[in-house]
Amino acid sequence: MRRQLDYLVRNKAHILLLLLFAAPFYAWTQSKEIKGIVKDDKGAGIAGATITVKGKGRSKASEASGTFSIQAAEGETLVFSAVGYSTVEVPVTRENDYTVSMSTASNTLSDVVIVGYGSSSRRTLTTSVTTVKPEELNRGAIADVGQLLQGKVPGLNITASGDPNRSAAVILRGASTINSPGGPYYVIDGVPGADIATIAPDDVASIDVLKDAAATAIYGNRAANGVIIVTTKRGRKGQTQISYNGYVGVESVSGQLKMMDASQLRSFLAKNNLSFTPADDKGANTDWQKAVERDNALSTNHNLSFSGGSEHGTYSASVNYIQKQGILKGSDLERFIGRLSMEQYALNDRVKFGLTVTNSTSNANDIAYRNTVLLQSALYLPVSPIMNADGTYFENLTKQNYYNPVAMMKNSQANNKYSTTIGNFTTQVKLPWGLSYDLSLSYQRYNYLNSSYLDKYFTSNYNNMYDNPDPTTYGHGLQSFGTNGQAYRGAYQSTQNILETFFTWQRKFGAHSINAVLGYSWQQNINNDGVQASSTNFTVDNTGYLNFALSNPYAIPSFRINLGGGAYQKIRSISDFARLNYNFKEKYLLQASIRRDGGSVFGANKQWGYFPAAAVAWRMSQEDFMRNQTIFNDLKLRASYGVTGNSLGFDPLTAKFSSGSLGTFYYNGVLTAAYGPVHAANPDLEWEKITTTNIGFDFTLLKGKLNGTLDWYNKNTTNMIYNYKVDPMLVPVGNITANGGSINNKGIELSLNYSPVSTKNFMWTTRVNLAHNVNKITSLSNPSFIGGDSVAVAFPEGAGQSGSSLELLKVGHPVGQFFTFQYAGKNSAGVSQYVAADGKTLTTTPIRGTDYHYLGDAQPKLLLGWNNTFRYKTFDLNIFIRGVFGNKIFNATKADLFRPNTAQYTNILVSAGDESTADYNAYRYSDRFIESGSYVRFDNATLGYSFKQFNQYIKSFRVYASVNNLFVITKFTGVDPEVNQGGIAPGVDYNNFYPKTRTVLLGVNVSF
């Protein structure tokens, strides 16, 4: 019996072993080769589509023509996915050949919208959110992600100059405060407050702009100015995808000031019986603007990315290099960005781990005292040469504030090296009963090294010159330098640590759907952890700022080493948040959220704030009474109200008492440093709060060809923080930072997307967005403190006009309200005259401040973005036009160059040629120099060609040519009407505008 049992066991073992070996071959014999083609909704083949056998981990990619081949068994399911297309699943039957059509994933109701701590379909969205996809972003030689959105989002006002080292000014739905920079809050791949400079434009998968408070309140005290969520590209399961995108561009100046050349200026002086001084007139004909500019600036960008994945994990990596020369000589930007992201599933795909690491390293060369150089390039007489015959720089230092701009550039250096590293580790666990748990740990480190050097020539010839700052609450300042060169270096590090954890519960009970989020956030920022120093008296200029050991500042008694004014800061915030989304049959929609924030930057009595929000929506198209109508495919009414806060722009010392240097004083015949209180404590300083009411419509009609959104909003800022005067007997400092001001913004926004033509060979889509906003300051006062009812800003400090302001922050008026003299023509003697304070009397000697009038403002009445895309077979053409209407610009640059009575000493504009030299008031700041800021810009035209099938290794190959800033239609007489709209003094052009450029570039997009 035992022998028989052993025999059976041995034979069963042999049989089992045989089956184990045979099983794979048996399974393989059941698989068969499936062939076919993947097409888009126009019938064209889709290259690079991923075909995966569901649940088996086998995948292939379609060829350039869209054809594919993969092994699969009958009864299995093929999953077809591609960027920009909706995923399709096809069951394998007895057939061996398949034609699969994939529809374009347009801005439809099924699109996924990224919101704070989750996502939503556009169908069930109750808030105001605009999504911009990669193909909709601006094209061209762009290093700043902010410029990618210019003109693409209704209500988003973005202005940018041609400076490669300066980010665009971004204002959403009007200026909300006079304190912080006013830009939106960025969230990148779930990391709040991430540096936008770490993102390469080619790595962007989507950008979601959260505009109303119901959408942004989940971010609490950081969301006052809107939230922009950037999602980068991720790997997909299947074959490895390799892509390269690159371009080379040439930039040239698109506009210059029309200054007189030597012959024009000489004729003007001769006509008025004037002449140059012999010290200036060297018989030259120098174009000083061209002398400080490059003829052409080169830009190049290269992006190489890798992505792929298996059944239980994906990966994506990219490297990006951009080099962008500025049109001003000596300015340029070089940036390298590396990004790696991985996702790994475990425990039967119920746990997902994610890791993203990004590093951006930039090297920016700038121009020391750049705005002064720009001013001097306009003022300097064309009859003077750049260089003397002996090879030295020409100068006439007998004239005040008159310097050779080329010499200033050549004898100075300014460099800024900075890098940002972001690491983010995430875990998502799927729990029973529709629960999931998310954990995010992120770390961001920002390092920067600022350096500058003014050589011996600069410090000896330009000592005690004035700078030319951008518009703000103060004017220019006297610059005192050391001897034998002066250097500065500052090395600082800032870090941000964030822990965020939240539960999500998502269940459906019949026709009822619930999505609830409950979470906690902890954040700590350390700023200004570093040191800076300045030095002078260098033995040689060759080393520049690189070797402080070669200096001897102590031998110069008047020199003081600058150790900086930025204090070390540690800021900590703690938050709890919750959100509930409910819908019934996707017809009646409700969202409610609240966030409780605690922050260390406010007073001890007011460190906690609550930010609630609620939104409702009604999909009217789902009602029975709408069933038989044929106009609307979908129609949704939205309404929301929410509160957000603002803690940006404030530091731990804002509400604290602090002491510092108060200059020097003589004591017993010795100059002694003074030290005392410099900032008063306010334990009741609290959050600025912004409440927003939003009503909107989302609609789709004409069988899906036309869709759009219409929004009306009312946004109020209260408890705005301002520095008030106070009785020194109560507070020794004489001022205190307190709450009191308020600002209101009301507006309407419209966005339309239309596809007039869509055939197999030709397609035309057009998108237009319009936005109107009215801004008004409603309060600047605090009942407990003095002042604050009006604040003068924007001090150009032109010659003879020191202390003259151009704008006033005033209750009942918008930010950017011009407040200046009212021009009333010329009197009988040919001298410019002005309307006095009484509104009747005319005077040639108006009193600064007293005789000022309210004369227009810088706020645009209408913003326009219009994009058109045409596709004909394998050709594509994109045209983008952008417009700004109804705003005014104070052309202080023109005023300062409108001096006919001093034309023998400084150059003047061609337009000043008809002025009389007897008019000693011609240059005086007044509404004579307030001009229309409206413009229409042909922003971009891009023509591309895609090869149908390049070869067996290259899946897609596209070449394109693009031109940016082709032309602008405007009445503005300055360099360009796109003057900065950010800050508290928008819309002022005063000798500080970095020239905009026109760019022509050639590029390629290749995928392997």
What CA–CA distance (Å, rounded) separates 795 from 476?
8
Q: How far apart are the first and last CA of the chain?
A: 66
What CA–CA distance (Å, rounded) separates 489 from 532?
6
Residue whose entry in the numeric block shows the structure tokens 């609240």: 594
What CA–CA distance (Å, rounded) separates 512 from 919?
78
Of 17, 83, 61, 176, residue with least CA distance to 688: 176
Q: How far is CA 857 from CA 590, 714, 744, 830, 986, in A?
A: 40, 20, 16, 29, 9
DSSP for 123-183, written as a single string: GG--S-EEEE-GGGS--SS---HHHHTTTTSTTEEEE--S-TTSPPEEEESS---SSS--P
Phi and psi of 316, rounded to 5°?
Answer: -155, 135
Neighbours of 259 (CB within 10 A): 21
Residues found in the chain: 1008
Distance of CA 295 to the CA centre of its chain: 28
Give per-residue burial for 918-934: e unless 16+ CB within 10 Å, then b: ebbbbbbbbbbbbbbbb
What CA–CA distance (Å, rounded) separates 636 from 121?
13
What CA–CA distance (Å, rounded) separates 750 from 752?
7
> Domains of the chain by range and CATH?
32-101 (2.60.40.1120), 112-232 (2.170.130.10)
Q: Are 257 and 308 in contact (CB under 8 A)?
A: no
DSSP for 788-848, written as a single string: -SEEEE-----TT-TT---EEEETTS-TTEEEEBEEEEE-TTS-EEEE-TTSS-EESSPPT
DSSP 222: G
Half-sphere exposure of 832 (CA within 13 A, CB side): 23
What CA–CA distance (Å, rounded) separates 293 from 592?
55
Phi and psi of 524, rounded to 5°?
Answer: -135, 125
Cross-strand partners of 873? none
What CA–CA distance (Å, rounded) separates 633 from 468?
57
What CA–CA distance (Å, rounded) separates 741 from 180?
14
Q: Which two tokens stand for residue 862?
A: 């209408």
Q: How far is CA 642 from CA 120, 522, 638, 743, in A?
A: 19, 23, 13, 16
Helix (H, G, I), strand (E, B) or coil at 760: coil
Strand 888-891 vs strand 930-932: parallel, antiparallel, or unpaired? antiparallel
Neighbours of 887 (CB within 10 A): 24
Going along 287-370, which residue ranges are E strands? 297-310, 313-325, 332-346, 351-366
Give per-residue burial for 393-424: e unless 16+ CB within 10 Å, then b: bbbbeeeebbbbbbbbbbbbbbbbbbbbbbeb
Dihedral-angle region of residue 663 (phi above 0 means left; psi in -120 to 50 means alpha; beta otherwise): left
Dihedral-angle region of residue 462 (phi above 0 means left; psi in -120 to 50 means alpha; beta otherwise): alpha
Give per-residue burial for 308-338: e unless 16+ CB within 10 Å, then b: bbebebbbbbbebbbbbbbbbbbbbbbbbbb
Half-sphere exposure of 117 (CA within 13 A, CB side): 32
Q: Are 312 and 349 in contact (CB under 8 A)?
A: yes
Dihedral-angle region of residue 636 (phi above 0 means left; psi in -120 to 50 means alpha; beta otherwise): beta
pLDDT for residue 949: 67
Give the gyration radius of the chain's Cα atoms. 32
What CA–CA distance (Å, rounded) separates 677 from 662?
8
Helix (H, G, I), strand (E, B) or coil at 122: helix
pLDDT for residue 6: 46
Of 349, 523, 522, residue with least CA distance to 436: 349
Helix (H, G, I), strand (E, B) or coil at 521: strand
Q: Are 242 and 892 in contact (CB under 8 A)?
A: no
What CA–CA distance (Å, rounded) separates 154 from 443?
33
Phi and psi of 618, rounded to 5°?
Answer: -135, 115
Helix (H) or strand (E) holding 581: strand 569-584
Neighbours of 78 (CB within 10 A): 23
pLDDT for residue 80: 86
Helix (H) or strand (E) holding 989: strand 988-989
What CA–CA distance (Å, rounded) separates 738 from 476?
27
What CA–CA distance (Å, rounded) separates 489 from 543?
13
Helix (H, G, I), strand (E, B) or coil at 723: strand
What CA–CA distance (Å, rounded) separates 567 from 528?
6
DSSP 786: B
Helix (H, G, I), strand (E, B) or coil at 26: helix
Q: Which parts of the chain have pLDDT scores under 70?
A: 1-30, 42, 55-57, 64, 83-84, 104-111, 180-182, 565, 671, 785-788, 949-950
Q: Are 795 and 474 in contact (CB under 8 A)?
A: yes
Burial of 4 (0-12, 13-18, 19+ CB in 10 A): exposed
pLDDT for residue 543: 87
Of 857, 691, 855, 697, residue with least CA distance to 773: 857
What CA–CA distance (Å, rounded) separates 885 from 887?
6
What CA–CA distance (Å, rounded) separates 170 from 981?
8
